[in-house]
Amino acid sequence: MNRIFSVFVFLIAGIVSVNAQKNKAPISIPALPIDSITNLYCYTKVNNVDGVTKDQLYRRAFTWANTFYKNPGDVIREKDSQTGKLVIKARFRISNEPDKKGVVTAAGDVMYTLTLNFKDGRYKYEITKINWQQVSYYPIERWKDTAAVTFKPEFAYYLKQTDENVKSIIADFEKKIASDTIVKTSDW
């Protein structure tokens, strides 16, 4: 009798679990910009800034990087004022969706490479090599493959956070690079 009851409870639990999964909202993968050549996520844009030299743009960007990042010495990997190029390798933290009690847990870090190029009157930014920090390289493009055996529904939430974080970085950079405020040093 105990055995029949155990089998019955197991079957009911399985049916409830399957129905709960069927009633979940469909997974919505956000549309992130994809490079047509590499098929990888890539945020890139060329902006014009009239009347500003390459050197001025470079200095503004270098100042921005030194104030935006907590550890600029670690994240600025290449700086070349002659060619007008800065390469930044940084990361930001993502989290899991809040549970039923509202508790948010860490999901890890997303790494990215920000390449900045400057010419007189314009600049170009590229955010590429976006990956989830794991033991080995784990490109975030894997998060969009809903047919993969390793796919998890929380990947859509990770992509949403990644998109929001990258857009926030871009917005802050564009705001500061367009600014013509110069910090004056005291000349004593």
Q: How confident is the model at residue 3 (pLDDT cuts 50, 70, 90)?
A: low
Angle between helices 54-68 and 154-178 (to 10 degrees): 130
Share of the chain above pLDDT 70, in %: 81
> Into how many domains does the chain fold?
1
Mean pLDDT across the chain: 86
Residue 1 in this model has a pLDDT that exceeds 60: no
Q: What is the pLDDT of residue 111?
A: 97
Which residues share a beta bridge with 116?
86, 125
94-108 pLDDT, tens digit per residue, is: 999 999 999 999 999
> Is pTM beyond 0.85 here?
no
Q: Is residue 104 part of a domain?
A: yes
In a domain, 87, yes or no: yes
Q: Is residue 18 part of a domain?
A: no
Domain carrying residue 156: 28-178
| Strand pairing report for 106-119 and 85-95 | antiparallel
Task: State the pLDDT confidence band at 187, using cuts at 50, 70 and 90.
Answer: low
- CATH (domain of 164): 3.30.530.80
Q: Is a pLDDT exceeding 80 seen at residue 14?
A: no
Average pLDDT rounded to a whole number, residues 1-17:
46
Q: Which residue has the tokens 């930001």?
A: 92
Asked, for residue 187, whether it belongs to a domain, the answer is: no
Distance CA 179, CA 61 (A): 11
pLDDT digits (tens, 9 = 90+) for 51-88: 999 999 999 999 999 999 999 999 999 999 999 999 99
- What pLDDT does 156 receive? 93
Q: Is the C-alpha dihedral spanning 60, 64, 67, 73 positive or negative?
A: negative
Q: Is residue 114 part of a domain?
A: yes
Q: Evaluate whether residue 78 is within a structural domain.
A: yes
Residue 156 covered by a domain? yes
